[in-house]
């Protein structure tokens, strides 16, 4: 497991340490860019101003932290009897829209039946605004593409939302920090190979309503906005009739289960006001 790797600045030989922690929040939502690496959420070891410390490799520590997290998620799923799937043969897949999003051949007709009903209802809306639309953002993806999706969710949502709590442990990449992000992320984002997308049963949906686009974003504000859309309420009311169920922690993720939703999805027409979204940022 990874050891302490504080953020750093300076040349290749080392970095200056300042009294800390120092945290700046005015550089947007992405703590991974150049500005983010050097300024956003800057956390430096307490010490005398401009004292010298050996160089630490933040990128290496971050990469190890992600490997540890995925390994911990995989171990959890193995204990629950889940199996990984790297990819499905092309012969087992079929497109569900003009953008070549695919599902398993045995599931695609059920989705298409639901989608035709949905589109007809959307066209019939009396309060529909110009530009309003519905669509599929993602469906089947192999484990390689699923790893990219996992990285995006980690980077844009779960890493920043647990950052403060992990800093408080004294080591943002230590064992305590790993447990914090594991608990926070594990029920919300499957490790590569264990997602419903990799198994060909899941779709991420998208909609534009009133000039605002709602895509497959796991952020709290995005999911709260999703819950106010016409598409979300239609899915809550009707998708279960076609055996499609919402993943509990993603308003936009709906997947097929022939024998009912299981514990990871909301049952049937479970009311939308009882479907929770991400909790507030960890403190």
Judged against a pLDDT cut of 90, whether residue 251 lies above it is answered with: yes
Cα 178 to Cα 171: distance, rounded to the nearest angstrom: 10
Say what percent of the chain tops pLDDT 90.
69
**Quick check: helix, strand or coil at residue 34?**
helix
Judged against a pLDDT cut of 70, whether residue 25 lies above it is answered with: no
Instruction: Tell me the pTM.
Output: 0.74
Q: What is the pLDDT of residues 47-91, one digit of tens each?
A: 444 444 444 588 899 999 999 999 999 999 999 999 999 999 999
Cα 38 to Cα 8: distance, rounded to the nearest angstrom: 7
Task: Read off the pLDDT of each residue in 138-163 and give the average, rounded to a whole number.
Answer: 93
* 70 closest CA partner among 198, 226, 181, 231: 181
CATH for 90-141+195-274 is: 3.30.1380
Delimit the CATH 3.30.1380 region(s) of the chain. 90-141+195-274
pLDDT score recorded for residue 278: 66
Cα 221 to Cα 82: distance, rounded to the nearest angstrom: 31
Judged against a pLDDT cut of 70, whether residue 18 lies above it is answered with: no
| Torsion over CA: 254, 260, 262, 267 (sign) | positive
Say what percent of the chain tops pLDDT 70.
78
Comparing 118-122, 201-205, 267-271, which segment has the lowest mean pLDDT?
267-271
Judged against a pLDDT cut of 70, whether residue 21 lies above it is answered with: no
């Amino acid at each position: 497991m990874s050891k302490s790797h504080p953020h750093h600045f300076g040349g290749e030989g080392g970095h200056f340490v300042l009294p800390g922690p120092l945290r700046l929040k005015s550089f947007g939502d992405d703590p991974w860019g150049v500005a983010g690496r050097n300024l956003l959420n800057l956390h430096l070891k307490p010490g005398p101003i401009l004292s010298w410390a050996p160089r630490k490799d933040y990128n290496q520590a971050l990469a190890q932290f992600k490997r540890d997290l995925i390994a911990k998620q995989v171990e959890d799923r193995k204990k629950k009897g889940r199996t990984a799937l790297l990819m499905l043969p092309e012969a087992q897949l079929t497109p569900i829209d003009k953008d070549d999003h695919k599902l398993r051949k045995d599931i695609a007709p059920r989705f298409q039946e639901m989608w035709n009903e949905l589109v007809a209802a959307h066209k019939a809306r009396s309060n529909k605004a110009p530009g309003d639309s519905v669509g599929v953002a993602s469906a089947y993806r192999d484990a390689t593409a699923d790893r990219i999706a996992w990285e995006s969710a980690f980077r844009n949502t779960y890493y920043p939302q647990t950052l403060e709590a992990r800093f408080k442990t004294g080591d943002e990449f230590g064992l305590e920090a790993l447990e914090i992000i594991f608990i926070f992320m594990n029920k919300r984002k499957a490790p590569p190979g264990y997602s419903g997308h990799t198994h060909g049963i899941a779709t991420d949906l998208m909609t534009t309503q009133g000039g605002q686009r709602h895509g497959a974003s796991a952020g709290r504000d995005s999911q709260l906005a999703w819950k106010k859309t016409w598409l979300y309420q239609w899915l809550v009311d009707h998708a279960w009739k076609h055996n499609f169920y919402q993943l509990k922690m993603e308003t936009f993720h709906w997947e097929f289960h022939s024998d009912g939703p299981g514990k990871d999805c909301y049952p049937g027409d479970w009311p939308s006001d009882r479907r929770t979204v991400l909790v507030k940022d960890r403190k």
